[in-house]
Amino acid sequence: MSARIAIAAAWICALAAMVFLLSPLLVIAAASFSPTPVFDLPLGGASLRWYARIGALDGFWPALSLSLQIALLSTALSLVLGTLAAIALARGAVPGAQAIAAALVAPLMMPGLVLGIALLQYFRAIGFNATWSALLVAHVVVTLPYVARTMIAGMARFDFTLMEAARMLGCTYPQAVRRVMIPALAPSFLVASLFSFLASFDNYPVSIFLTDVRAKTLPIKMLQYIDEAPDPTLAALSTLILLATIVLLMASDRMFGLHRMAGTGD
Amino acid sequence: MSAAGVPHLVIRRVSKRFGAATVLDRIDLTVARGELVTLLGPSGCGKTTLLRMVAGLDRPDAGAVELAGRDITRAPPHRRNVGVVFQSYALFPHLTVAGNVAFGLKSRGLPRARIEAAVERALSLVHLENFGKRRIVELSGGQQQRVALARAIAVEPDVLLFDEALSALDRKLREEMQIELRRLLRQIGATAIFVTHDQDEALTMSDRVAVMHRGRIEQVAEPRIVYARPASLFTLGFVGLSTRVSGLVVAAGEGRVEVDTEIGRLTAIGNFLVGSPVVVAARPEQLRPDSGGGGNSAAGRVRSTLFRGSSSLVEVEAGASTILLAQIPSDEGAPARPGEAIRLAWPVAETFAFPAPETGS
Amino acid sequence: MTEVVVPAPAPVGTVDRERLRGLAFLAPALLFLLIAFVTPLVLLLGVSVAGPRGLSLDAYAKLLGADYYLRVIWNSLRLALLTTIFALAIGYPGAFALARARGLLRSVLLSSLFLPLAASVIVKAFAWTILLRSDGIVNRILLATGLVAAPIRMIFTETALIVGSVNIFLPFMILPIYAVVTQLDPRLSEAAATLGAPPVAAFLRVTAPLTVPGVIAGVALVFSLSVSAYVVPTLLIGERYPTLASTIAKAYLLAREPVFGAAAGVVLLAIALTVVTLSGSLAGREAGR
């Protein structure tokens, strides 16, 4: 009997958690259609005017462009670094593999803020003043642990005898990587890319210390908008980003299932 | 199905459906106290499902299960006093060997001293004394198997269920375990049901074998009888090798029939009407080179000879689609060579006729 | 954070070439982290003890000596503790329900977990400011259901902070626990049942102990993320609840006190490191069981 109560309680928790987690997103989406500049819920009507105004936000396009560039490039770099490292760890010929793997993933739990100020001091100290490049380096540090964690887990499940079979059938090592390993690990690559991209695109605590007046990333701009003149344009922007993410998630689910991403590869 | 001894476990007209498929079809089985019965059959025949009914891990749609005089059909598993040894052992990784073995005893709320004594006794029965403090991950497959066994017998259950429990072991270890397990179960007077698809295991370990096919029990009998007097064509084919040839009954009487087949006229044991299509069969150890002693005989050309140490298995092509299988002891001279012509003979008393299967079944 | 799994080594004979290749593949990532992660942090440590005449612990004395800053540190710890406790209370049963779910329900539940992860903290915190206003949805619901007589002041209170914080970090508690629960062998609870344990006892004696690694990972992750949270407190409670994170930000962006900021950063880092090592050793003990 008490088992049934416990099970019912668990389901209530799950459903409550779901509503709880989704509510801010729904609020933002709803507010983006507000006909008035004030965030009034429930809405008196629906209007798309705020969506039209996104482009007119001060400094929006440069910020979007910067965020996209940094996110894409840091993801690409992390993928290379992280995958190579994962291969090395999976083959097991490296001493202290467990410790190295933990070290690669550790920055995830480090306060981003602290990383931000540390990098700020560091770049100043060594005279590294190129803002864009500094931002890129910082974001690779941010994204590499996500990639490393996913690729190490995925690589651990990869059967390396497939590579040996490919080489017996005439491939060189790089060819075998391209024709056998990459397709087999495609889900892991995609999950790693997804998490890495989002980690970089949404990053605030590291970026805030490395941007300057001319170069700001989108999250920093958004916080600025909230401070200065919050109006539903912001909600519209956020909703668009959310929609893009939904599309990405649906594609990922179609390709290999969200439950697999959650249960293992993550 | 009668059995000597006290009826201890009674399965009465148990049926189970999964969706549209009937997995168990009115199963009747009685197991006496102290008996070792094996459910033998190919995958999908329902043997594991039946075992789970006894364990309480699944419920039948119809029928009843009685254990030691109680009706346990609707009882949940934790109230049944049934021990289960799973194929994957299902040992609790967060507990030591002793912790695992003691688990069922702790569930019964026994005092600590009694639990420790029972754990020691169970571990010594499986020859794992002093393993109590070990962790599960440190054990080999064979050792894990014994711990799973000790855990199940520690609570002295009314019946022990083995769900393909030996199939994860390699062959040599498996054969050793079969013998040891049987000895141990006899020693503690346990009643046990094995589930396996391995006919050798079934024949070795059991007092009786229940051959299952598509949710029904085809035959329940001592291993000797299941082998030598199979009740159906399926049992004949599933247990052991055989020579089989189809034909039509041309004469019948006094429990025997004469059958016209493509390898000649054969006489077999059976009751059929003239004109019935039948399959005539015999076990390989019954076939010998014809020395004029009478009985059934057929001629053909040797296709292959498999030397197996104490005997050879000779395949003879006779007729367009009939293969005779003869098991010839090695001390009866060198076996025939492939390509040689040979005539084999076998006694009528060991030739059986079965109804021919419906086309498509 | 899930434990990293590293498989057994390759057979001897291939070792030399493999080892060389292994080290070559590992080098770029490790070198990069050494240069861009470890060195800056070490430098930070150095800056925090920089004084006008050589090494000085003045910054730490100020940070750990003044009542005000001790309260600031406690604020961060308290935020982390409360967030972790609530996230565990909701997330643990939620993870089990999620693991049992199938089909459409499972997809919907998983989406509700992943979607918020994809939205930036800023967006979500902002949404909560809208939700928790005096004329916001939450107050309207409370008034409509008659639970309160007048709108409650929620924004810029600790309640808002905790609610927002739990909201942001709940997925990080659920995912590691869910990962462990889905990998549990269902035969184990069947075995427990056949050994006489009724369902609740089987859960407490067999299932729950096996979920401990996931719980450790979730707790460590949520604690270390919430102790260093910056955006959430800033937007939802502001100056009323100074945290280590806001102290650091202020020191660098406003007050131009790099040494003090560095010291605060080192303290925050130390807290995070303690959580990581503790959870690592606990998990290691669990794995060794």
**Any idea which architecture B241-355 has in CATH?**
Beta Barrel (2.40)
**Position B3 confidence tier, pLDDT thresholds 50, 70, 90:** very low
Per-residue pLDDT tens for B48-107? 999 999 999 989 999 999 998 889 998 988 888 899 999 888 999 889 999 999 999 988
Q: Are B105 and B114 in contact (CB under 8 A)?
A: yes
**Position B123 confidence tier, pLDDT thresholds 50, 70, 90:** very high
The pLDDT assigned to C10 comes to: 53
Secondary structure letter of residue B79 according to DSSP: G
State residue B245 phi and psi, 5-degree precision. -145, 140
Q: Which residue has the higher pLDDT, A77 or C138?
A: A77
The pLDDT assigned to B100 comes to: 93
Distance CA B239, CA B236 (A): 6
CATH number at residue C281: 1.10.3720.10
For chain A, report the end-to-end CA distance as a whole number of angstroms: 36
**B331 has a pLDDT exceeding 80:** yes
Tell me what the mean pLDDT of segment B12-23 comes to.
92
**B1 has a pLDDT exceeding 60:** no
Distance CA B151, CA B102 (A): 7
Amino acid identity for residue B320 in this structure: A
Supply the mean pLDDT for chain B: 90
ipTM, two decimals? 0.85
Name the nearest CA neighbour of C174 among A112, A17, A147.
A17
Strand partners, C200: none
The pLDDT assigned to B332 comes to: 81
Quote the number of domains for chain C. 2
Residue C161 shares a structural domain with residue C265: yes
**Position B225 confidence tier, pLDDT thresholds 50, 70, 90:** very high
Residue boundaries of the structural domains of chain A: 58-265
Q: Please, which residues 161-180 of chain A have a Cβ atom closer than 8 Å to chain C?
A: none
Helix (H) or strand (E) holding B346: strand B341-346
State residue B266 phi and psi, 5-degree precision. -120, 150
Residue C255 lies in a domain: yes
What does the block give as tokens for B308? 């197996």
The pLDDT assigned to B5 comes to: 57
CB contact under 8 A, C188 and B55: no
Tell me what the mean pLDDT of segment A107-121 comes to.
89
Pick the CATH number of B7-234 from 3.40.50.300, 3.20.190.10, 3.90.1170.50, 1.10.10.10: 3.40.50.300
Name the nearest CA neighbour of C223 among C155, C147, C275.
C275
Q: Which residues of C fall within a CB distance of 8 Å from B80?
A: 194
Chains A and B touch (3+ CB pairs under 8 A): no
**Position A58 confidence tier, pLDDT thresholds 50, 70, 90:** confident
Per-residue pLDDT tens for B335-356? 788 988 989 999 999 999 999 9
Q: Which of C183, C190, C194, C285 to mutate to test the interface with B (most CBs of B within 10 A)?
A: C194
The pLDDT assigned to A260 comes to: 63
The pLDDT assigned to C66 comes to: 86
Specify the pTM. 0.83
Name the nearest CA neighbour of C203 among C218, C184, C216.
C184
Chains B–C, number of C-beta pairs less than 8 Å apart: 66
Answer whether C151 touches A (CB < 8 Å).
Answer: no
Residue boundaries of the structural domains of chain B: 7-234, 241-355
Q: Please, which residues 86-145 of chain C have a Cβ atom closer than 8 Å to chain B?
A: none
Secondary structure letter of residue B96 according to DSSP: B
Looking at chain C, how many residues does it have? Answer: 289
Name the nearest CA neighbour of A94 among C7, C246, B198.
C7
Residue C40 shares a structural domain with residue C160: no
Residue C44 shares a structural domain with residue C109: no
CB contact under 8 A, B86 and C190: yes
| Binding partners of C (≥3 Cβ pairs within 8 A) | A, B
Q: Which residues of C fall within a CB distance of 8 Å from A164?
A: none
Residue C42 shares a structural domain with residue C65: no
Answer whether B41 touches C (CB < 8 Å).
Answer: no
Domain that holds residue C29: 10-48
Distance from CA of A19 to the nearest CA of C (A): 8
Shortest CB distance from C123 goes to which of A28, A87, A137? A28
The pLDDT assigned to C289 comes to: 44
- What is the dotted CATH code of the domain comprising A58-265? 1.10.3720.10
**Residues in chain C, pLDDT under 70:** 1-15, 286-289
Residue C85 shares a structural domain with residue C153: yes
Q: Please, which residues 284-343 of chain B have a Cβ atom closer than 8 Å to chain C?
A: none
Residue C105 lies in a domain: yes
Secondary structure letter of residue B270 according to DSSP: -
The pLDDT assigned to C226 comes to: 94
Q: Please, which residues 88-107 of chain A have a Cβ atom closer than 8 Å to chain C?
A: 88-94, 97-98, 100-107
Distance from CA of C67 to the nearest CA of A (A): 23
Of A155-169, B198-212, C31-45, C161-175, where does mean pLDDT reach its minimum?
A: A155-169
CB contact under 8 A, B107 and C209: no
Helix (H) or strand (E) holding B26: strand B21-32
The pLDDT assigned to A94 comes to: 76
Shortest CB distance from C97 goes to which of A14, A111, A112? A14
**Position A43 confidence tier, pLDDT thresholds 50, 70, 90:** low
Residue C192 shares a structural domain with residue C270: yes
Angle between helix C158-182 and C67-100 (nearest 10) = 40
Residue C149 lies in a domain: yes
The pLDDT assigned to C1 comes to: 45
Signed CA dihedral, A141, A154, A68, A28: sign only: negative
Name the nearest CA neighbour of B135 among B100, B87, B171, B173.
B100
The pLDDT assigned to A188 comes to: 86
Distance CA B178, CA B200 (A): 10
Residue C77 shares a structural domain with residue C41: no
DSSP string across B121-187:
HHHHHTT-TT-TT-BGGGS-HHHHHHHHHHHHHHT--SEEEEESTTTTS-HHHHHHHHHHHHHHHHH
Name the nearest CA neighbour of B257 among B249, B265, B248.
B249
The pLDDT assigned to B345 comes to: 92
Question: Would you put residue B349 in left (φ > 0), alpha (ψ -120 to 50) or beta?
Answer: alpha
The pLDDT assigned to C33 comes to: 92
Angle at B94 between CA C99 and CA B86, to 5 degrees: 75
What does the block give as tokens for B99? 């912790």
Q: Are C177 and C92 in contact (CB under 8 A)?
A: yes
Residue C146 shares a structural domain with residue C193: yes
Percent of chain B with pLDDT over 70: 98
Residue C5 lies in a domain: no
The pLDDT assigned to A258 comes to: 63
Q: Which residues of B fall within a CB distance of 8 Å from C8?
A: none
Residues in Cβ contact with B318 at an 8 Å cutoff, skipping those fewer than 6 apart:
B263, B298, B299, B300, B301, B324
| Binding partners of A (≥3 Cβ pairs within 8 A) | C
